[in-house]
Amino acid sequence: MILIGIGANLPGPDGGAPLASCRAAAAALDAIPGMRLAALSRWWESAPIPPMPGAPWFVNGVARLEGTLDPDALLAALHGIEDRFHRARPYPNAPRTLDLDLLAYDDIVRPGPGLILPHPRMQDRRFVLEPLLEVAPDWRHPLLGPAGALLKALPPQELHPLPA
């Protein structure tokens, strides 16, 4: 099972809302050669983590993909999609036009260097685990256990699903 986090809190290059960028990114995931979009969570709105006064709230979701592309090639494809949305990385956790995170690729565990799997901070992020459980309710972190238990261990966060 391949899980991709999708997020944005700045307008896209066309001036569209972050939600529109996230929806377009989900469609772009389905167009990656060798991959297929199998499931997509609802869209969630959340306050920035860590808190940044004045920063716009994020739109977040999780996609479940199926396919044969290896993890490094998939990450390169994700970065290509981010580039099309003019993703900039001026500093860690900066506001962004689009963020695509390779959260998990089957049960692969890679400590780095380079691509780290599963994503090293996903278990600390309610805005990742809530939508992840919608597309993969039985998913287990290969080192930490069931996603549902990881979610229950987290403190509250300003987070709510967007209307359909």
* Per-residue 3-state assignment (H helix, E strand, C coil) for 135-150: HCCCCEECCCEEHHHH
Determine the pLDDT at residue 129.
Answer: 98
Determine the pLDDT at residue 112.
Answer: 84
**Rounded alpha-carbon distances, angstroms, from residue 61 to 112, 113, 135:** 25, 27, 10
C-alpha 90, offset from chain centre = 19
Q: How far apart are CA 43 and CA 85, in angstroms?
A: 18
What string of pLDDT tens digits covers the 164 residues of the chain? 999 999 999 999 999 999 999 999 999 999 999 999 999 999 999 999 888 888 899 999 999 999 999 999 999 999 999 999 999 888 888 899 999 999 999 999 999 899 999 999 999 999 999 999 999 999 999 999 999 999 999 999 999 999 98
Determine the pLDDT at residue 164.
Answer: 81
- Residue 100 backbone phi and psi in degrees, to 5: -120, 120
65 - beta bridge partners? 2, 37
What is the set of domains in the chain, with CATH numbers? 2-161 (3.30.70.560)
Buried b (16+ CB within 10 A) or exposed e, 137-155: eebbbeeeeebeebbeeee
State which H helix or E strand residue 75 sits in: helix 71-84
Q: pTM score, two decimals?
A: 0.96
Q: How far apart are CA 156 and CA 164, in angstroms?
A: 23
